[in-house]
Amino acid sequence: MSASLGEGVEKIRQAKTAIEEGQKTLARQLLREILIAENNNLAAWELLAQATKNDEERVYCLKRILDIRPNHPWAGEQLDQILSKPNTPPFFEESPSFQNSTINLRNPMKNPAPDAPAPLTPGPLPAAEEMPQEPRRRKRRRTPVVIPLAAALGLLCVVIWGYVFFFVKPPELNPSARQTLTAAFLHEVGCQVLIEQAMQAAGSSCNQIGPNSVCYGNFTLQAELAPEAQVQFSQRGDTIDIRYLQRLSASPLNTGNNEWGIAIFRVMANLPGSLPGEIVTLMVFGNTTLDNQSPNLQTFYFSSQLGQLVCEQVPFDGIMIDTPEGSGVRFNINGTELTLMGDASLTANPGGEMAVNLYSGSGVIVSNGQEQYFGAGQSVSVQLGGENGLQAISPPSAPVPLSPVELEIACTMSGQYCSQGEVTPVSEEEAQNNIFATLGITPTATPLISNTPSITPTPSRTATATSTPTVTRTPTRTGTRTITSTATRTRTPTRTSTGGTLTPSRTATPTQTPTPTATYTHTFTPITPSATATFTPSPSATVVATNTPTRTPSRTATSTSTTPACTTITGSLSMSTYDLVMVITNNSGGTITMDSLHIGWLDGPSQKLQSVVLNGTSLWSGNDNAAPSDLPSELAWSGTAADRQVLNGTPGTLTMTFFVVLPSGTNTVEIIFDNGCTIQGSQ
């Protein structure tokens, strides 16, 4: 807390004590000093309203309070009570010259009086020869009488106003109103002080934490750690790896015991287009509980209590997310998938709603199979329910504008977005285009995968061939695909052709004999010579007389492995919109290292494998647009072997992120470890 802020708070407390002891003159002096430095200090004007000596002063103070906070809880009521008195003068309402003037609180004698005439300025002196000759005995020059009269009149008005403002004793507020005034003021001052101290303490204690870590920012936090965590997390500045955190609860703001729980998380930005090493910051504050479901905080449940706070600077508890410009992050929160490219706040009321309030950038939330795009200046929500009251049970709502309450929390927690003017609006359509551009998605692309090559032998034929291949994969593979097509031509107006067998391939070499029969041979060699593929096509071909021949092969692939499975190492594969997530359980008694990884996915025109991450550490990143993906035979590991390790008794989360929404039922993952064990999963 800065020195000036501390001095101001201390003077406010002294002024409050002086008012309670009846020393209003001392209180007024202290409050004047505060208002000289900060004319919009609401707490000072609230106290000054109690230290006034007449209704004129009180009306002025109440109006200043309402100027600063139009929805003030008691100033409007007090003002109405004064103005409703019989024969009450209009006070300053008929003195625009006073209303528009600036009050000098340091020296009231310098304040302009209501309706005081402007001092007259003497005109130019006449020439010397025109000036009347004065007797020599009169040494002093005459002064125009109007100037001292005007000055005296103005001074008299100022003196009268100063006397009224500082020495005339007003009627006291009724005891209940005074008690309400004092209680509200003291609580507000306590909130301001505690918030300032907590934010500065959390910032200074946690400004050096690294990625995938959580820091104890301010008192009080209750944390449940993994059994193998040999670290401390109980004091301000304590930092642990996120994978050791299972559950965290922060205390609500309490001015009585100076508590306001704050925890700060740092996680890696994981959207395509994010620069390596970019960090996303999450601040959990107030009466909020978070259950971590993954080592890198990509999946978690959380709840925050609404309506529990009286402090106007913190109207609700929850989570603040700060995302670097041009970067992005994807979370699975309370059963929804949330993608953010901007700053946001989150709230989740058990059995009520989870709200996402976006202050900058773009976002998309997926819930109950439906997605909703939204931009800066908008808020979306989903209904929560289920056994724990925190599972999303409804599609996302349509975006609505941010409320003043949501702007207030952003202003308090981040120091920005304090008004609508500080938020650059982003429409729903713009948000969708921004998300698509970041994910490498072309909005007009068809998400379904088509495997239909077109061949045009002559302008008068259309050939359609179908086949059902069977693929058998071994640790090393080579493959040959052969397509043979035989057509018979006649010179009659009707042409027919019969097709032979077809095996899908990548290159075609047609061979024709002098007879009207055409033969096509297609040979394919896989890019990665690490497996042997055998195809058994079903000989079905149809040729009809149209202009564009089209081949539509349908393929069914099966995979086998000679690597033994181990009961002490298991894996569970799940799928979200863009991710395949394999949770690895290692109970082998030692550390295991991933030797190879096979990822099977449905190929398509826009689909790409974007990254492979284990426990928040990147194992590979890039653009692989040809399925399947194999590491390290096709794609090289990044980092060291230690990055691919799974500790004994510690779950490992392997996340494989794609560019386009994944269709279900087409994805397989197989991992082979250094001890010869293998785990497999399909979705």
If asked whether residues 541 and 586 sit together in one domain, one would say no
**What pLDDT is attached to residue 540?**
45
CATH code of the domain covering residue 76: 1.25.40.10
Q: Is the confidence at residue 334, as pLDDT, over 90?
A: yes
If asked whether residues 265 and 220 sit together in one domain, one would say yes
If asked whether residues 343 and 470 sit together in one domain, one would say no
Whether 611 is in a domain gets the answer yes
527, 552, 577 - which closes a domain: 552
Beta bridge partners of 355: 347, 381
The Cα-based distances of 487 to 24, 482, 546 in angstroms read 110, 17, 15
For the stretch 553-606, pLDDT in tens is 434 434 444 444 478 899 999 888 788 999 999 998 899 999 999 999 988 777
Output the six-digit token pair for 667.
């994805």
CB atoms closer than 10 angstroms to residue 327: 21
Residue 364 to residue 344: CA distance in whole angstroms:
12
Output the six-digit token pair for 377.
């200046």
Asked which of 76-90, 371-385, 578-592, 596-610 is least confident by mean pLDDT, the reply is 76-90
Of residues 500 and 263, more confidently modeled: 263
Residue 414 to residue 199: CA distance in whole angstroms:
10
Q: Is the peptide bond before 632 cis (omega within 30 degrees of 0)?
A: yes
The SS3 assignment for 15 reads helix
If asked whether residues 364 and 388 sit together in one domain, one would say yes
Residue 10 to residue 97: CA distance in whole angstroms:
35
For the stretch 649-659, pLDDT in tens is 888 999 998 88
If asked whether residues 247 and 157 sit together in one domain, one would say no
**What pLDDT is attached to residue 403?**
94
Write down the mean pLDDT value for the chain: 74
For the stretch 412-423, pLDDT in tens is 899 899 989 999
If asked whether residues 84 and 154 sit together in one domain, one would say yes
Q: Let me know: does 512 contact 518? Beta carbons within 8 Å.
A: yes
**What pLDDT is attached to residue 442?**
67
The number of domains in the chain is 4
H/E stretch holding 57 reads: helix 55-68
Residue 571 to residue 129: CA distance in whole angstroms:
112
If asked whether residues 532 and 579 sit together in one domain, one would say no
157, 173, 189 - which closes a domain: 173
pTM equals 0.49
Residue 269 exposure: Cα atoms within 13 Å on the Cβ side: 24
If asked whether residues 378 and 256 sit together in one domain, one would say yes
Q: Is the confidence at residue 202, as pLDDT, over 80?
A: yes
**What pLDDT is attached to residue 457?**
45
129, 158, 173 - which closes a domain: 173
Q: Is the confidence at residue 3, as pLDDT, over 70?
A: no
Owning domain of residue 474: 454-489+496-552
H helical segments located in 564-629: none
Most confident of 1-15, 55-69, 166-180, 481-495: 55-69
Whether 558 is in a domain gets the answer no
If asked whether residues 466 and 544 sit together in one domain, one would say yes
Whether 47 is in a domain gets the answer yes
Q: Residue 102 — pLDDT band, cuts 50, 70, 90?
A: very low
Whether 187 is in a domain gets the answer no
Of residues 395 and 523, more confidently modeled: 395
Q: Please identify which residue in the block is written with the tokens 């269709």.
A: 663
- Give the pLDDT mean for 661-669: 87
Whether 408 is in a domain gets the answer yes
Helices 175-205 and 42-50, axial angle in degrees (round to 10): 160
Residue type for position 243: R
- Give the pLDDT mean for 188-200: 79
Q: Please identify which residue in the block is written with the tokens 């004698």.
A: 109
If asked whether residues 354 and 415 sit together in one domain, one would say yes
Asked which of 37-41, 173-177, 480-484 is least confident by mean pLDDT, the reply is 480-484
- Give the pLDDT mean for 405-409: 92
Q: Is the confidence at residue 348, as pLDDT, over 80?
A: yes
Whether 373 is in a domain gets the answer yes
Beta bridge partners of 583: 572, 653
If asked whether residues 151 and 98 sit together in one domain, one would say yes
For the stretch 113-138, pLDDT in tens is 333 333 333 334 333 334 344 443 44
Whether 134 is in a domain gets the answer no
If asked whether residues 321 and 358 sit together in one domain, one would say yes
Whether 7 is in a domain gets the answer yes
Q: Residue 551 — pLDDT band, cuts 50, 70, 90?
A: very low
Burial class (CB in 10 A: 0-12, 13-18, 19+), 350: middle
What DSSP string runs through 327-340? --EEEEETTEEEEE
